């Protein structure tokens, strides 16, 4: 069995999904979950892209143990120095430098000749190699780069000190047989290729990212770059859970293995879905809610007689819990803690204590507490952790026939109670928005507003997820309560607290070409 390295880029390429940005605590939580999942490399971010990215990479490098921690940089001094500054606390740091190589990128984006590209790539790799031994180089848009030139750049990057060469299909254009041929071509033609690990990085614009990655593995590639739930730029990246389960389920064919603890796939998928607000489609392979549901009578009959008639994997092997265990007001902290872990979260003792208090309050309001309720409480704890400058003190809502809905609201700001405001709207939700805006002074545009019930039953908690726009930035907020107006206020405050926390103009801060590649 050949051991394939799993390089997770959920926190870098995945976070580039529109609307998927995560705060520091959420990134730490995901990084910890990835370490528990058993990924070999965590690409924690693009340190020069923003102070937030830098802080996240540094925190992850300093605290998460097990996997190699990687940071992205373009082939220039500022990027590489910044990446190293963030990574230097890691036990196993990796600098990942990239530079576009395809004719279209050379001509229109970089305006550089082939000679200039080779020279810049070599300089970038050599500089990075002065800081650490583990250097990855990516010729961006490699899947559309001329074979001869790709071989030349790759050979030069290896000579300069690159230990991993990653071949990205940046725009998701390749098809599997082409990908296979490209990897065979590199392995046959680049004389020093045996001095590095070959890696593949596929985008899913044609829905082929997993197939293309598997084709690369068949050709001899040793590392797969992927993200949880396949999140990422545009249509996303190769989905970790799919590619890992394909390798495992069809190990007879691929003769490969990974170090992934597959039982952590579903909990990690749920965690990423929660913190990014990107829902997993019901029929998504491996981690979707219907992935193991058998509806047709013939299938059910077969399943009862012998599960392997219709099931090629066992739900428990990917981490689907057998039961939706119900907790209640008599459940103790240990039961709650176990459940939280099984759901994919790992909280500090302090966070657990806080969630336990909320759990007890909720248990006073509703008899049965389901997984959905617990996930909602934990998520509120993780995303609220950031810096809860604004907090809800109390609110009152009146709504009915013949008079406009009205919300009276009292908030506190950094512990000081702010005077009450009353606002009217065309509905209680609208009135709640107005009241929050009046008190906080933030005028925002609501771009998306979703309410869903966290669990079944009419006593279920309502979970509000919203996206607001403020000074050109889109910010997410979530709030959960058995009262939907309260959940709305909490979601608004969650988003506003994120604005206050990231007071700096961030993602566009890097020089020259856009850092978001
Ligand atoms: O898709 C891409 O080309 C990338 C590189 C930075 C590896 O994400
Ligand atoms: Zn990418």
CA dihedral for 60, 63, 64, 68, sign (positive or negative) = positive
Distance CA 439, CA 411 (A): 8
Ligand 1 atom at minimal distance to the Cα of residue 237: 1
Could you tell me the distance, in angstroms and rounded to a whole number, from the CA of residue 90 to the centre of ligand 1? 22
Tokens (6 digits) for 6? 């799993």
Could you tell me the distance, in angstroms and rounded to a whole number, from the CA of residue 503 to the centre of ligand 1? 28
What per-residue confidence (pLDDT) applies to 300? 72
**Ligand 1 and 32: CB distance under 6 A:** no
Ligand 1 atom at minimal distance to the Cα of residue 138: 7
What per-residue confidence (pLDDT) applies to 371? 81
> Which residues are placed with Cβ below 5 angstroms of ligand 2, an ion?
13
What per-residue confidence (pLDDT) applies to 322? 63
**Ligand 1 and 14: CB distance under 6 A:** no
| 3 state SS of 384 | helix
**Ligand 1 and 46: CB distance under 6 A:** no
Distance CA 488, CA 496 (A): 12
Could you tell me the distance, in angstroms and rounded to a whole number, from the CA of residue 507 to the centre of ligand 1? 16
Distance CA 128, CA 295 (A): 54
Q: Which residue lies with its CA nearest to atom 2 of ligand 1?
A: 170
Q: Which residue lies with its CA nearest to atom 3 of ligand 1?
A: 170
**448 Cβ contact partners less than 8 Å away, ≥ 6 residues apart:** 19, 465, 466, 467
Distances (CA, A) of 345 to 26, 83, 386, 506: 11, 28, 17, 28
**Ligand 1 and 201: CB distance under 6 A:** yes
Q: Which residue lies with its CA nearest to atom 5 of ligand 1?
A: 140
Angle at which helices 77-87 and 114-131 pack, to 10 degrees? 30
Of the candidates 40, 94, 1, the residue with the CA atom closest to the CA atom of residue 226 = 40
User: Could you report how far apart the first and last alpha carbons of the chain are, in Å?
Assistant: 34
Q: Which of 48, 79, 98 to probe ligand 1 with, by most ligand atoms within 8 A of CB?
A: 98
| 3 state SS of 478 | strand
* Angle made by CA atoms 167, 9, 446, in degrees to the nearest 5: 125
Tell me how far apart the 2 most distant CA atoms of the chain are, in Å. 81
What per-residue confidence (pLDDT) applies to 121? 98
Distance CA 55, CA 46 (A): 10
Could you tell me the distance, in angstroms and rounded to a whole number, from the CA of residue 477 to the centre of ligand 1? 28
Could you tell me the distance, in angstroms and rounded to a whole number, from the CA of residue 226 to the centre of ligand 1? 11
- 446 and 468 in contact (C-beta within 8 Å)? yes
Ligand 1 atom at minimal distance to the Cα of residue 13: 8
Could you tell me the distance, in angstroms and rounded to a whole number, from the CA of residue 251 to the centre of ligand 1? 28
As to burial, measured by CB atoms within 10 angstroms (0-12 exposed, 13-18 middle, 19+ buried), residue 183 is buried
Angle at which helices 349-365 and 371-384 pack, to 10 degrees? 130
Distance CA 349, CA 181 (A): 51
Distance CA 137, CA 122 (A): 10
Ligand 1 atom at minimal distance to the Cα of residue 100: 3
**Ligand 1 and 517: CB distance under 6 A:** yes
Burial 4-40 (b: 16+ CB within 10 A, else e): bbbbbbbbbbbbbbeebbbbbbbbbbbbbbbbbbbbb
**Ligand 1 and 76: CB distance under 6 A:** no
Ligand 1 atom at minimal distance to the Cα of residue 72: 6
Could you tell me the distance, in angstroms and rounded to a whole number, from the CA of residue 170 to the centre of ligand 1? 6
| 3 state SS of 233 | coil
Q: What is the mean pLDDT of each run of 10 residues along the chain (517 residues)?
A: 98 88 90 97 97 96 98 98 98 98 96 97 98 98 98 98 98 98 98 98 98 98 98 96 98 98 95 90 92 76 81 91 73 88 83 92 85 83 72 94 93 86 92 94 91 82 89 84 93 89 46 37
Q: Which of 135, 142, 201, 236 to probe ligand 1 with, by most ligand atoms within 8 A of CB?
A: 201
**341 Cβ contact partners less than 8 Å away, ≥ 6 residues apart:** none
Tokens (6 digits) for 397? 């809502």
Ligand number nearest to the C-alpha of 142: 1
Which residues, in sequence order, are bridge partners of residue 226? 8
Tokens (6 digits) for 21? 């940005």
Could you tell me the distance, in angstroms and rounded to a whole number, from the CA of residue 171 to the centre of ligand 2? 8
pTM: 0.84
**Ligand 1 and 168: CB distance under 6 A:** yes
473-481/462-470 β-pairing: antiparallel
**Ligand 1 and 140: CB distance under 6 A:** yes
Burial 335-374 (b: 16+ CB within 10 A, else e): ebbebbebbbbbbeeebbebbbebbeebbeebebbbbbbb
What per-residue confidence (pLDDT) applies to 325? 65
Distances (CA, A) of 273 to 12, 79, 125, 195, 204: 15, 30, 35, 38, 18
| 3 state SS of 129 | helix
Ligand number nearest to the C-alpha of 100: 1
């Amino acid at each position: 069995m050949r051991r394939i390295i799993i390089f997770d880029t959920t926190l870098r390429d995945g976070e580039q999904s529109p609307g998927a940005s995560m705060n520091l605590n959420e990134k730490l939580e995901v990084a910890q979950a990835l370490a528990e999942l058993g990924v070999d490399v965590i690409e924690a971010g693009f340190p020069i892209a923003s102070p937030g990215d830098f802080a996240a990479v540094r925190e992850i490098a300093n605290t998460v143990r097990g996997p190699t921690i990687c940071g992205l940089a373009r082939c220039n001094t500022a990027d590489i120095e910044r990446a190293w500054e963030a990574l230097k606390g890691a036990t196993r740091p990796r600098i990942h430098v990239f530079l576009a190589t395809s004719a279209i990128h050379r001509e229109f984006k970089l305006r550089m000749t082939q000679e200039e590209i080779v020279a810049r790539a070599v300089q970038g790799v050599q500089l990075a190699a002065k800081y650490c031994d583990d250097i990855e180089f990516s010729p961006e848009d490699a899947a559309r780069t001329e074979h001869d030139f790709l071989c030349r750049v790759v050979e030069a990057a290896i000579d300069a000190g690159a230990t991993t060469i990653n071949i990205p299909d940046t725009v998701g254009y390749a098809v599997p047989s082409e990908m296979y041929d490209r990897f065979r071509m590199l392995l046959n033609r680049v004389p020093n290729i045996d001095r590095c690990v070959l890696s593949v990085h596929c985008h899913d614009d044609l829905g082929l990212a997993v197939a293309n990655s598997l084709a690369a593995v068949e050709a001899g590639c040793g590392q797969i770059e992927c993200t949880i739930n396949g999140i990422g730029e545009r249509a996303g990246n190769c989905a970790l859970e799919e590619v890992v389960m394909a390798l495992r389920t069809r190990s007879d064919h691929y003769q490969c293995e990974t170090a992934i603890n597959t039982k952590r796939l579903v909990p990690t998928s749920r965690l990423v879905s929660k913190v990014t607000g990107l829902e997993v489609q019901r029929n998504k392979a491996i981690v979707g809610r219907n992935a193991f549901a058998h509806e047709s009578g013939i299938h059910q009959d077969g399943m009862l007689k012998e599960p392997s008639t219709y099931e090629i994997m066992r739900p428990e092997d990917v981490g689907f819990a057998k039961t939706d265990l119900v907790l209640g007001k008599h459940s103790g902290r240990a039961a709650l803690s176990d459940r939280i872990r099984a759901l994919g979260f790992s909280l500090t003792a302090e966070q657990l204590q806080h969630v336990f208090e909320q759990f007890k309050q909720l248990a006073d309001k509703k008899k049965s507490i389901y997984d959905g309720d617990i996930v909602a409480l934990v998520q509120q704890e993780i995303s609220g952790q950031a810096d809860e400058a604004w907090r809800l003190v109390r609110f009152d809502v009146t709504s009915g026939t013949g008079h406009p809905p009205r919300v009276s609201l009292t908030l506190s700001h950094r512990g000081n109670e702010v005077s009450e405001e009353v606002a009217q709207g065309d509905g209680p939700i609208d009135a709640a928005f107005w009241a929050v805006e009046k008190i906080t002074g933030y005028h925002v545009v609501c771009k998306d507003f979703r309410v869903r019930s966290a669990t079944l039953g009419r006593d279920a908690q309502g979970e509000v997820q919203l996206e607001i726009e403020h000074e050109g930035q889109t910010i997410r907020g979530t709030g959960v309560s058995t009262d939907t107006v309260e959940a709305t206020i909490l979601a608004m405050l969650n988003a506003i607290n994120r604005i206050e926390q990231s007071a700096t103009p961030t993602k566009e801060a890097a020089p020259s070409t856009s850092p978001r590649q």
